[in-house]
Amino acid sequence: MSQSLNVAICQINPTLGNFQKNIDNISSNYRKAVEKGANLVIFPEMSITGYPPQDLLNNQNFINENIVSLEKFSRNVTVPCIVGFVDFDNDKRFNAAAICQDGKIISKYHKIHLPNYDVFDERRYFENGNSVGIFDLNINEKNHKIALQICEDLWEDEYDRKISDEIINHNPDLIVNISASPFAKDRKNDRMKLIQTNYGNANCPFVYCNLVGGQDELIFDGFSMVFNSDLQLIDMANGFEEEILFTDLTSKSSLKNISSDEQLFKALSLGIKDYFKKTGHEQAVIGLSGGIDSALVACLAVDALGSNNVTLISMPSRFSSDHSKIDAKKLAENLNSSYKTINIDNLFQTYLDVMSDHFEGYPSNVAEENIQSRIRGNLLMAFSNKLGSLVLSTGNKTELALGYCTLYGDMSGGLSAIGDLNKSEVYNLSKWINKDSEIIPQNIIDKEPSAELAPNQVDPFDYELISPIVDKIIFGSDQKNVNEEFLNLKKKVNINEHKRRQAAPVLRVSKKAFGIGRRIPIVNHFHE
């Protein structure tokens, strides 16, 4: 029966809480799909609301408006459509999917498995559904048994209830999963393996429809997929962009390959683009040091926003090397972005003069170094206030982990673009950017990293050595047989939690980022 289905998978980018815009987008995609002959149209998890709504779900008006919006949309539906929303029944909230047909909502499904780990806390808001989603749909005078699930229902390994077994026992003609699954390295392959492993005996096609777009720290990558009755992948939507994927569930398309570096670049670019667009910003300002981190952020910002919307500011001091100033200017020229130079040495000297009596008798140390960083942070924020632009902070994950960053200095900003990339990943992605032509001056990639806050200063770490160790600490990997260096690094990570708590939101591209998915007390005397 499934062979008579022409399915449209609508991979859309909703804006959280903008119900009118979301309904307009859903309606537009639905009409396009039907006009091209689709007889089943599918939208992602929580398409009506955007995802994740978090504590907006405690506002009854939010719930009500989402339901009214769904009902409004359903009145114009002819051929069957599946769309994600928030259901409210008997004073309980459900992460739900509605099946609409012939001008009304004909069925609903409530998500059974509610994720409550990492960035997910759905049990805080939702009740579990009870019944497996099996629905009979009459399409073109033929009956089709559709199995419907929502995102985490697929990720069933950590749950006692195996939804896959229940679905397979019903012998469906088609299985549909609607998701809001955020991007992380290898996550696309993880989804594919789960589908093929859990439903290898289903003997029917499988359609996976995923959300796309940025929401605060999260980036939804799309990559919606179609599997035939043998569970072979036969089609996949593009990543990181809206798309309607049409399929008859049998024909195989040429699958596009996208490298991990390209995925990472596109994810971060989309995260920046949507953060700016959805918060009402257009212009970005970035402090350009001549180092690798700020260079990468500048490249990402230009890709996301366009060169005309990015201002790069060099703020050299007495300790800034000539090559850093040259490299910064060259990068700005390569990116065709506005470039300004503000020498901070007079400001720095004024601080030293003002504090001289108070610092008398104390050796020069990190206090003087951080004054320079904070001067730069203040100048960037002045540009932000005057021009209405948003500052992008430039610290990487390794630096944030070890506290090698300055509160109210280089940590200043409205968004941390690369705060989930370790230092090694920063270098790798920068090299990928230069794969066709030199965008980032090679000297920036080759030279020894330095904050240039003191004479002849270089970063006190071998990043190739410590980056993977720090990642193990953050991910909570096997920590048996650890050495003294590991323990010292772990201590540094723990004692700098107060800095990260005050950092800008970090775009999440790994399976464990700093931010909402990692909640460690600031006051913490526990040692393993």
Active centre residues (catalytic):
45, 111, 151
First-to-last CA distance in the chain?
Answer: 58
How many residues are given for the chain?
528
Query: Which residues are registered as beta bridge partners of 179?
Result: 210
Q: For the CA atoms of the chain, what is the radius of gyration?
A: 26
Distance separating alpha carbons of residues 316 and 311, to the nearest angstrom: 16
Assign residue 242 a region (left: φ > 0; alpha: ψ between -120 and 50; beta: otherwise): beta
CA-closest candidate to residue 266, choices 433, 139, 505, 425? 433
Neighbours of 363 (CB within 10 A): 7
| Identity at 136, one-letter amino acid code | D
Q: Before 115, cis peptide (omega within 30)?
A: no
Q: Cite the beta strand spans of 169-236 per DSSP E.
A: 174-179, 206-210, 212-215, 218-221, 225-227, 233-236
CB 324 within 8 A of CB 341: no
Distance separating alpha carbons of residues 189 and 272, to the nearest angstrom: 24
Distance separating alpha carbons of residues 182 and 180, to the nearest angstrom: 6
| Identity at 33, one-letter amino acid code | A
CA-closest candidate to residue 324, choices 291, 372, 286, 287? 291
CA-closest candidate to residue 527, choices 498, 490, 478, 497? 490
| Cα angle 211-294-340, degrees, rounded to a multiple of 5 | 115
Distance separating alpha carbons of residues 283 and 308, to the nearest angstrom: 8
Distance separating alpha carbons of residues 196 and 215, to the nearest angstrom: 29
Distance separating alpha carbons of residues 364 and 472, to the nearest angstrom: 35
Q: Provide the token pair at 165.
A: 């077994």
Distance separating alpha carbons of residues 272 and 280, to the nearest angstrom: 12
In sequence order, the 6+-apart residues with CB closer than 8 A to the CB of 346 are none
* Residue 334, CA atoms < 13 Å, CB-side half-sphere: 19
Distance separating alpha carbons of residues 444 and 299, to the nearest angstrom: 13
CA-closest candidate to residue 440, choices 429, 451, 456, 450? 429
| Identity at 279, one-letter amino acid code | T
